Structure 1
């Protein structure tokens, strides 16, 4: 059993997951958001963790603690992620908590995928950020600044990306230190490197210098070099 960044390998399988609590359509939720969007962002994170492990999703487990009425809305949010990357939705199964009615929304999305055999050359490119660190309500109001799954899928298909490393609530600096294995290592960026990136609104990308022009054309102004 091998541990990846927020993922576990079991044989050929990669298992990734993400969850949200207090975000949804209940009156007591701390952040008001449609269930569909909540599930979309949870699925987004789990998918990016699959890509970070060089895996492709084959099944989705939905853990719904918000009640039966939320199930279909959550499933539509999962569907939205795969529609965005122009991929078929894997089989979805899971369960809903119906014995107890919770005051706040809670949901988790687990993705199971198979890791592809890596036949690429060793990674030797430079590291960049793609997207802006956003959290809470900013995720809903500044969506144009969020790293696009559709663009990332195209970059993966075109071989522009050597490695992917999603940034979560700990921020760019913490993820950079985890990636490099050096807890004292700093990094320079025009972005706030300590700010939470919520549902992976920022991605760390390793890009071949020879493909940089293509990458800049594809990722646009949201691409920034890490120094």
Structure 2
């Protein structure tokens, strides 16, 4: 039986095991003539992979396989995208089988990539469905998109942040933030749990800006959250 949670699919396997599936796509970002944001192809591979990995890891699942749908020629674009994919997986200490498809029939004028990541987790270990009234919501990282991501100076959430969060006590749920922005994600979160989100943030944090390839993660916890990370951390509100 399949169910949905935010942007991921959950598939029940035998016993207590669950399959967790996440995907992300990226288009018009790269070094081709038709690309709107100019970055090296390995950046496309790296950050598109990061989104899918974050979505799976945030549930408490262990990634087991990845697919890369590269809508461009195998070389040089495909090879460079694969370099970024492998670089991102290494940052997560992941050695996964990668199923790859490239465009071999015609030339392309725009870079495009789709990544799917598959993970497994025991249902009892899923970091989903544990939120309750009174829980606090924190934001880690700054929302960035496009050229700002490539030029980042250590202000976005990454593998180090996520791996550390997964080891902390009191963390009930982790929500990677993408194009809907911080406000969009907390509103969806509150609606899913039939709660109200009270905004208590008085910092200069743009809660409506797109966070692009998951440059921000939200943390829901039942305790005061000390910032021991190297990225900006904001208390943004409470669920009631």
TM-score, normalising length: structure 1: 0.89
Q: Does 1:127 align with 2:137?
A: yes
1:50-92, CA deviations, whole angstroms, 9 ceiling, x for partnerless residues? 023321110000000021112222222122222212x232100
Aligned equivalents of 2:31, 2:218: Cα separation in 1 = 32
> How far has the Cα of 1:224 moved from its partner?
0.5
Q: Distance in 1 between matches of 2:6 and 2:147?
A: 26
Contact 1:132-1:201 within 8 A present in 2 as well: yes
Output aligned runs, 1:4-153, within 5 Å: 4-11=5-12, 12-69=18-75, 70-85=77-92, 87-119=93-125, 122-123=130-131, 125-153=135-163
SS at match of 1:205: strand
Give yes or no for contact 1:173–1:187 (8 Å, CA) kept in 2: no
1:201 pairs with 2:215:
yes
8 Å CA contact 1:4–1:53 kept in 2: the answer is: no
User: Is contact 2:190-2:196 (8 Å) kept?
Assistant: no
Q: Is the 8 A contact 2:154 2:231 kept in 1?
A: no
Confirm whether residue 225 of structure 1 aligns to residue 235 of structure 2: yes
What secondary structure sits across from 2:25 in the alignment? strand
TM-score by length of 2: 0.84
**Greater helix content:** 1
Q: How many residues align?
A: 222
Mapped partners of 1:154, 1:185: distance in 2: 26
Alpha carbons 1:27, 1:104 under 8 Å: kept: yes
Give structure 2 stretches of 5+ with no counterpart. 13-17
CA deviations on 1:96-131 (whole Å, 9 max, x unpaired) are 111122211000110011123435894554210000
The corresponding residue for 1:173 is 183
SS at match of 2:48: helix
CA distance in structure 1 between the aligned counterparts of 2:189 and 2:70, rounded to whole angstroms? 32
